[in-house]
Amino acid sequence: MDPKGAYGKLVRDRIPEIIREHGAEPVTYTADAEEYRNRLRDKLVEEVAEFLEADDSTAPEELADVLEVVHALASVLGVDVGQLEKIRENKASERGGFAERIVWTGNR
């Protein structure tokens, strides 16, 4: 693989092992910190797109993939899942959540 990251994509940690179990030999490398962060951002876009295309039966699985990437990005930023949840709770307390389905159309 191109160590500058022009090719390939970030995959889950067990994917090379799963590929080997199916009789192929994966070609991989470990991204440096900067590439990893960039590839996680790309992966988030990919997973959100998959979620948006999913039907109701597959949407929960796709949403779990989004959450996995969000957790990895939080870790890169030095924030653990508990801290991330606290930040979410604080924002919800200050600004609310989305449960009331309010759509803003502008001001008068």
pLDDT band at 25 (very low <50, low <70, confident <90, very high): very high
Q: How high does pLDDT run on average in the chain?
A: 94
Structure tokens at 84: 């991330």
Whether 67 is in a domain gets the answer yes
Whether 75 is in a domain gets the answer yes
Whether 88 is in a domain gets the answer yes
Residue whose C-alpha is closest to residue 2's, from 36, 39, 33, 28: 28
User: Helices marked H in 27-58 — which ranges?
Assistant: 33-53
**pLDDT at residue 6, as a whole number:** 63
CATH assignment at residue 44: 1.10.287
In sequence order, which residues have a C-beta less than 8 Å from that of residue 87 and are 6 or more positions away?
A: 79
51-67: per-residue pLDDT in tens? Answer: 999 999 999 999 999 99
Total domains present in the chain = 1
DSSP label at residue 6: S
Whether 40 is in a domain gets the answer yes
Whether 104 is in a domain gets the answer no
Whether 71 is in a domain gets the answer yes
3 pLDDT higher than 80: no
- Domain range for residue 32? 15-95
